[in-house]
Amino acid sequence: MKKNYAYVAGMLVLLIVGILFYKLSVQQKKFVSVGDKLGAMIVVKVDMAINPKDSGTNDPELMKIGPNNVRVVLKGPIEVTGEYQQIHSGIGFDGDCIKGFDSVSLSRLPSLPGESYAPQRLFCFRNTDFVEKNLGTKSHQVTVMIDNYELVSYPSEVMDYADLVKVLKR
């Protein structure tokens, strides 16, 4: 009878250690990792959007990579359809951008786990000379191929960026 108790006690210890190990490994999983798929793009780099030393913050949520401080670089390429326009925000976010995406494009564009901000989706292009040469300066509906998407999240004004690869429909 004592052997059965020892066996059961040993199994309980193994079970408890297994549960603790599982919880620890789940908690240590990164928020977003290289190789993850966000939308129809693959994560190739993850780092902080703003270095806490540069921002002077003491907020623990901003001192690590997470939903409040992350810059994710993704590769596609992907096709998106939306309204191209030049934006002059008055707060430093001026550029050639796309917004007002159709539902297929929204499903392809990357977003962070748990985020849902489809109505406000917007990104601007980095390669502005190429964009203006191929899309002009007037607002209109376009279908384009983009790549090298940079998704940024920080509790202040930030912008996502991508490279225009090719104009499919103008």
Indicate if 164 and 82 belong to the same structural domain: yes
Indicate if 56 and 68 belong to the same structural domain: yes
Q: Read off the pLDDT of residues 75-111 as tens digits, 9 standing for 90 and up.
A: 999 999 999 999 887 666 678 999 999 999 999 999 9
Give the Cα separation of 151 and 73 in Å (integer): 6
Indicate if 14 and 84 belong to the same structural domain: no
Q: Read off the pLDDT of residues 132-148 as tens digits, 9 standing for 90 and up.
A: 999 999 999 999 999 99
Our count of domains for the chain comes to 2
Indicate if 26 and 45 belong to the same structural domain: no
Indicate if 84 and 162 belong to the same structural domain: yes
Tokens of residue 30, six digits: 């990164």
* Token pair 């297929």: residue: 104
pTM: 0.77
pLDDT band for 16, please (50, 70, 90 cuts): low
Indicate if 103 and 43 belong to the same structural domain: yes
- Which residue range forms the structural domain that includes residue 83? 31-169
Q: Enumerate residues 6+ apart whose C-beta is below 8 A from 61.
A: 68, 69
